[in-house]
């Protein structure tokens, strides 16, 4: 991407948007959707599907976008008449489109009352969410609402404006009850298994924890609120100046918040809505009575494999996913974890050609035009891996098989997030953000076997897997190889036994060895 002088160009706005780039040409509809989580994924996924639906069938489905904390995107959108570009990239082609579906952009921490008013407005029919797994404030150990979370505690007490996503939703519903407004739909678009059921349960737990009068006021109303499950799928990296330059070069306008994305986009939704919905099926979405198989297909084959690529890639010094998957050893490990350990645990949905799906996945991973960074994919692993690893791992263990590459995923995660003293995991691993880093890092100074057991005992992957000694030992083996040798050697150890005489010279980590391959023969 060539650098261009963006400052000399007009800003993107209503009068400078190239007409050919607009996904729909209708007048901006009134707000029918309030979206919580004004990040890149929403703007490249739900907003694009909604724009395509509006192009096919009009309706009151404008989107009010709400950022949780950061004002950067919201303020930029306001300066640009709520316009932004989506830059769809692949090695073969690029396309720039403008959804033009947002009716406003707010920041929850800055304008909490305006957000609550929007949630309670009679015209609001749907609340959509892309707040990441971490934004649901549940306990990683139990999956229940984390009532020890300071934001949750404050929101339950009603101390000031809501600080959490659940607090916003519940207080918004409370205003609807008091205003006599009809029930609405809350549609999670995050990577949670059974995301609709999970959201419904957490909202109900929040309401149940409120003082008696508020609880009694809200509980009957919740019966009319819909929480459909959904599966979302599109690779959307972070915005950089390279993408800003690309839009400027193609359009001759300055967009400070363009969104890069792959051409592929998929949205599978349970058709259960309380107050109507856009014609999303005409915008590329698939409606089904059972989203579960699609969720598993994506959460395990795509997301689970993606996590392994990210951790191994970061430890191997690879800044991006395409650079990581281009390494033969990492490609082999990704294919192994997908085919041998994730795929046998997934009921493939009818009509899905799984071989075509897998081939498409690896083409998407290798999309070199899309610089999807390993640090972005690897962040928040403590929440992500809890959704992806335990069930398939336990299924294999129950059948007498050791899931070596799932163990390698956990080892890679620990090596990135809580490397022991004296070991440098590299800048991409160090840049990964994770809510568990603070509690895991102090444990890393222990000998590797003790560290792994202590890390699993924190509830990182649930109690059942933490109690499985053979799995903990296998994670220990592979973590030891990562600490003392390198990524290709660890992948080789996960694939085939390595004897002590076959191991290359140690990299000099101060951690003690722990008997590599001691548990492979027994499994």
Q: What is the pLDDT of residues 283-334, one digit of tens each?
A: 999 999 999 999 999 999 999 999 999 999 999 999 999 999 999 999 999 9
Beta strands 185-188 and 126-129 are parallel
Average pLDDT over residues 474-486: 97
What pLDDT score does 512 carry?
A: 38
Q: Provide the pLDDT for residue 7.
A: 81
Alpha carbon of 154 to those of 52, 147, 163, 170, 390: distances in Å? 40, 10, 8, 13, 32
Q: Which of 259, 202, 244, 207 is nearest to 43 (CA)?
A: 259
At 140 the pLDDT is: 76
Mean pLDDT of 375-388: 95
What is the CB neighbour count within 10 angstroms for residue 160?
A: 9
pLDDT of residue 4: 78
d(CA 109, CA 168): 11
pLDDT tens figures, 4-45: 788 889 999 999 999 999 999 999 999 999 999 999 999 999
State the pLDDT at residue 498. 62
* 3-class secondary-structure state, position 31: strand
φ, ψ at 445 (rounded to 5°): -80, -10
| pLDDT of amino acid 506 | 59
DSSP string covering 438-494, please? HHHGGGGGS-HHHHHHHHHHTTTT-HHHHT-HHHHHHHHHHHHHHHHS-HHHHHHHH
For 135, phi then psi, to 5°, come to -75, -5
Q: Other C-beta atoms within 10 Å of 9: how many?
A: 17
Find, among 57, 417, 96, 43, the residue nearest to 236 by Cα: 43
**CA 83/CA 33 separation, integer angstroms:** 17
pLDDT band at 238 (very low <50, low <70, confident <90, very high): very high
Compute the Cα dihedral for 218, 220, 221, 225 and give only its sign. positive
Asked whether the predicted pLDDT for residue 508 surpasses 80, the reply is no
From CA 78, how far away is CA 80, in angstroms rounded?
5
CA 171 to chain centroid, in Å, comes to: 25
Joined together, the tokens standing for residue 103 give 């009716």
Tell me the average pLDDT across 85-113. Answer: 96
Rounded mean pLDDT, 415-441: 96
DSSP 363-378: HHHT-TTS--BHHHHH
Give first-to-last CA distance, the chain, whole Å.
49
Residues of 94-110 as b/e, b for ≥16 C-beta within 10 angstroms? bebbbbbbbbbbbbbee
CATH 1.10.1040.10, applies to 292-495:
yes
Q: What is the pLDDT of residue 8?
A: 81
Task: Please state the rounded mean pLDDT for residues 378-389.
Answer: 95
pLDDT at 519: 33
Q: In this predicted structure, what is the pLDDT of residue 507?
A: 59
Mean pLDDT throughout 474-498? 93
For a pLDDT cut of 70, what percent of the chain falls above it? 94
The torsion angle over the Cα atoms of residues 226, 229, 234 and 240, rounded to 10 degrees, is 50
Spatial distance between the Cα atoms of 189 and 128, rounded to a whole number of angstroms: 7
The dihedral through the CA atoms of 214, 219, 220, 221 has a sign that is positive
**Per-residue pLDDT band at 496 (split at 50, 70, 90):** confident
What is the CB-side half-sphere exposure of residue 230 using CA atoms within 13 A? Answer: 27
CA 381/CA 455 separation, integer angstroms: 13
Q: Quote the CA–CA distance of 397 and 105 in Å, as a whole number.
A: 48
Q: What is the pLDDT of residue 514?
A: 38
Give the whole-angstrom CA distance, residue 102 versus residue 62.
6
Q: Is 62 helix (H, G, I), strand (E, B) or coil?
A: strand
Q: Say if residue 93's pLDDT is above 50.
A: yes
Which letter, b or e, does each residue of 364-389 get, where b requires 16 or more Cβ atoms within 10 Å of its Cβ? Answer: bbbbebbbbbbbbbbbbbbbbbbbbb
Q: Are strands 286-288 and 266-270 parallel, antiparallel or unpaired?
A: parallel
Predicted confidence (pLDDT) per residue in 168-222, tens digit: 999 999 999 999 999 999 999 999 989 999 999 999 999 999 999 999 999 999 9
Q: What percent of the chain has pLDDT over 90?
A: 89
Domain ranges of the chain: 6-288, 292-495
Mean residue pLDDT of the chain comes to: 93
SS3 state of residue 333: helix
Under a CB-based contact definition with an 8 Å cutoff, are residues 74 and 257 in contact? no
pLDDT at residue number 299: 95
The string of pLDDT tens digits covering residues 337-357 is: 999 999 999 999 988 999 999
Q: What is the pTM of this model?
A: 0.88
Mean of the pLDDT values across residues 492-504?
A: 72
- Between 520 and 201, name the one with better pLDDT: 201
Query: Is residue 431 predicted with pLDDT exceeding 90?
Result: yes
What fold, for 6-288?
Answer: Rossmann fold (3.40.50)
Question: Which residue did the predictor score with more confidence, 489 or 505?
Answer: 489
Please determine, for residue 236, whether its predicted confidence score (pLDDT) is greater than 60: yes
Instruction: Dump pLDDT digits (tens) for 39-85.
Output: 999 999 999 999 999 999 999 999 999 999 999 999 999 999 999 99
Q: Which residue has the tokens 């800055």?
A: 110
**3-class state of residue 22 by DSSP:** strand
């Amino acid at each position: 991407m060539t650098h261009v002088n963006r400052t000399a160009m007009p800003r993107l706005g209503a009068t400078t948007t190239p007409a050919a780039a607009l996904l729909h040409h209708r007048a901006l509809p009134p707000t029918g959707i309030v979206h919580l989580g004004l990040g890149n994924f929403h703007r490249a996924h739900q907003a694009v599907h909604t724009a395509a639906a509006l192009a096919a069938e009009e309706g009151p489905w404008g989107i009010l976008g709400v950022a949780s904390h950061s004002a950067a995107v919201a303020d930029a959108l306001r300066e640009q008449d709520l316009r932004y570009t989506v830059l769809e990239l692949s090695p073969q082609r690029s396309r720039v489109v403008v959804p033009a579906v947002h009716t406003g952009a707010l920041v929850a921490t800055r304008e909490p009352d305006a957000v609550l008013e929007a949630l309670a407005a009679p015209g609001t029919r749907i609340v959509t969410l892309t707040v990441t797994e971490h934004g649901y404030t549940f306990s990683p150990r139990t999956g229940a609402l984390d009532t020890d979370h300071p934001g949750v505690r404050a929101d339950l007490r009603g101390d000031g404006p809501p600080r959490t996503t659940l607090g916003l939703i519940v207080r918004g519903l409370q205003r609807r009850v008091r205003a006599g407004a009809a029930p609405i739909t809350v549609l999670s678009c995050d990577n949670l298994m059974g995301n609709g059921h999970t959201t419904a349960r957490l909202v109900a737990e929040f309401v149940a924890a409120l003082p008696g009068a508020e609880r009694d006021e809200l509980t009957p109303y919740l019966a009319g609120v819909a929480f459909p499950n959904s599966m979302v799928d599109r690779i959307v990296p972070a915005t950089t100046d390279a993408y800003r330059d690309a839009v400027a070069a193609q359009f001759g306008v300055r967009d400070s918040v363009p969104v890069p994305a792959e051409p592929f986009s998929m949205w599978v939704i349970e058709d259960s809505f309380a107050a109507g919905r856009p014609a999303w099926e005409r915008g590329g979405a698939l409606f089904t009575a059972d989203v579960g198989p699609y969720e598993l297909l994506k959460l395990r084959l795509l997301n689970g494999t993606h996590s392994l690529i990210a951790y191994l890639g970061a430890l191997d010094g690879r800044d991006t996913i395409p650079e990581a998957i281009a390494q033969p050893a990492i490609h082999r490990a990704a294919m192994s974890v997908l085919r041998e350990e994730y795929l046998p645990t997934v009921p493939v949905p009818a009509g899905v050609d799984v071989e075509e799906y897998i081939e498409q996945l690896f083409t998407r991973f290798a999309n070199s035009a899309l610089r999807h960074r390993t640090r972005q994919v690897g962040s928040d692993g403590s929440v992500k891996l809890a959704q992806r690893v335990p069930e398939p791992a336990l299924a294999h263990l129950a059948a007498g098989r050791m899931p070596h590459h799932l163990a390698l995923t956990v080892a890679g995660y620990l090596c990135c997030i809580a490397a022991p003293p004296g070991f440098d995991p590299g800048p991409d691993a160090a840049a990964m953000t994770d809510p568990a880093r603070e509690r895991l890092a102090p444990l890393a100074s222990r000998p590797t076997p003790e560290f792994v057991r202590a890390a699993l005992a924190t509830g990182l992957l649930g109690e059942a897997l933490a109690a499985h000694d053979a799995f903990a030992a296998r994670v220990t083996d592979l973590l030891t190889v990562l600490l003392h040798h390198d990524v290709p050697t660890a992948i080789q150890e996960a694939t085939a036994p390595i004897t002590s005489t076959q191991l290359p010279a140690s990299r000099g980590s101060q951690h003690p060895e722990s008997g590599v391959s001691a548990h492979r023969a027994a499994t």
